[in-house]
Structure formats: structure tokens, C-alpha cells
Amino acid sequence: MSTLRDIPVGQSTKVKKLNGEGPVKRRIMDMGITKGVDVFVRKVAPLGDPVEVTVRGYELSLRKADAEMIEVE
């Protein structure tokens, strides 16, 4: 199982599953990150937080903890 956190910068991947529950999962889904959507990793800060991604044409910043909850193919 790999998470969005494991994807190298410049790579694209497809979301397989969202882990976590309640408000955390809701926050991730509110960003447009849902099962089957393509995510492109643009940049990762030197200490790994935040992870900058492009989803559905929008540029987003994800916390490292949130990125670890997004299971990818």
C-alpha cells in the first residue's frame, strides 16, 4: 500500500481510497480529492510538510498527515 506521501515530485497518481474518518476525511473530500481522481505532486517542502498537489486543475497544499491518509495506486 502506498500513500500520496510516497509519490515522488513530478509524478501523477490515481486515488484508490481515503483513510481516516469524520472531519479529516470530509476536509480531504472538500478539496476535491475523491476515489478515482488524478493527483499530480508539484512540490514537497524540505521537511515534508506541506505537500503541494494539483487536483482537477486546482493547486492545493496538503498537510503531511493528510497526505498519508490518501491511498494511491
SS3 label, residue 29 = helix
- Structural domains in the chain? 2-72 (2.30.30.90)
In whole angstroms, give the CA distance from residue 31 to residue 45.
20
In whole angstroms, give the CA distance from residue 26 to residue 21.
8
Q: What is the pLDDT of residue 34?
A: 93
Q: What is the pLDDT of residue 48?
A: 78
Q: What is the pLDDT of residue 1?
A: 78
Query: For the whole model, what pTM was predicted?
Result: 0.88
Show pLDDT as tens, one digit a residue, over the chain (73 residues).
799 999 999 999 999 999 988 998 999 999 999 999 999 999 999 887 899 999 999 999 999 999 999 999 9
